[in-house]
Chain A
Amino acid sequence: MIMIRAIVRPERSDAVLAALMEAGFPAVTKCHVYGRGKQRGLKVGDVTYDELPKELLYVCVPRRDKDFVIQTIIQAARTGTRGAFGDGKIFVTAVEEVYTVSSGVREGVKETAAAPVLM
């Protein structure tokens, strides 16, 4: 499994969530964050805004679906025809183990190999 963390514009996050749902990846966690990129924030006149509001999306998917999910997020998060500064970043990290709390089962391993969890 891999964890895809996508930082997107707040106004595009609903579109990304809808696109992920349509693509068959409903499970997602969302956090509100503030940040800046290599453009050092937004400069309006003399004022620099270097803490821009963004949404951070966490999606955990099988490794084979990585490229598809990333393309889905990119297509939904991009603004304009060629994209613009501030559209966001996507980071991919490895996930070694995934557990579902309600069943206590470790995901991604065969049913027979799943270790029973103490109650």
Chain B
Amino acid sequence: MKEIMAVIRMNKMNQTKQALSDAGISSFNARPAFGRGKGNVDFRILKGAEQGHEEAIAQLGAGIKLIPKRMLTVVVPDDKASLVVQTIIKVNQAGRPGDGKIFVMPCEDAVRVRTGELGDQAIDEVI
């Protein structure tokens, strides 16, 4: 079993849902999240602010800038992991920084609470 955690743009949520259900993966978990990547930070401004240049501090603004994102968690059998990854990439790829990241992690076990089934049986079948 694999747990796929994807951080994507807020406004791509509906298309991603549609694409995943078209691909036969109907069950997943989504939640709002905030984040930043490596592309959105200008280290020159950061360094300038550290040295106390006023222009740099003004550009940084107050507080830490995090961008609202949507976090998806999908648990699928091993052989479906690449299908999910490719589906998410295909829908969300705009070619710009901020499109998101996908992490594939091993998942030890899953339990269906209703019946107590374990493992692959607990995951919804891919239709």
Contacts and interface: CB of A to CB of B under 8 A. Distances in A.
For chain B, the bracket of interface size reads 35 or more
A26 B37 contact: yes
B64 A98 contact: no
A17 B102 CA distance: 21
A35 interface: no
Given A18-B64, A101-B93, A27 B71 contact: no
B34 interface: yes
Interface in B76-127: 81, 85-86, 88-90, 92-106
Contacts of A3: 5, 103, 105
A62 to B, nearest CB: 13
A91 B50 CA distance: 31
Contacts of B81: 97
Contacts, number: 99
A27 to B, nearest CB: 5
Interface in A6-40: 14, 17-18, 21, 26-31
Contact of B71 (A1, A29, A99, A101): A29
A21 B50 CA distance: 13
Interface residues of A, number: 29
B92 A28 contact: no
A101 B92 contact: yes
Interface string A21-63: 1000011111100000000000000000000000000101000
A27 B31 CA distance: 18
Contacts of B98: 102
Interface of B: 2, 5-8, 31-38, 40-41, 46, 63-64, 66, 69, 71, 81, 85-86, 88-90, 92-106
17 contacts: A26-B41, A27-B35, A27-B37, A28-B35, A28-B36, A29-B7, A31-B31, A58-B33, A94-B106, A95-B105, A97-B102, A100-B99, A101-B99, A102-B99, A102-B100, A104-B89, A117-B93
Given A58-B33, A102-B95, 9 more contacts: A1-B103, A3-B103, A31-B71, A95-B105, A99-B85, A102-B93, A102-B99, A117-B89, A117-B93
What are the 9 closest A-B residue pairs judged by CB atoms, nearest first? A29-B35, A102-B99, A101-B99, A97-B104, A99-B102, A101-B100, A30-B34, A101-B92, A31-B33
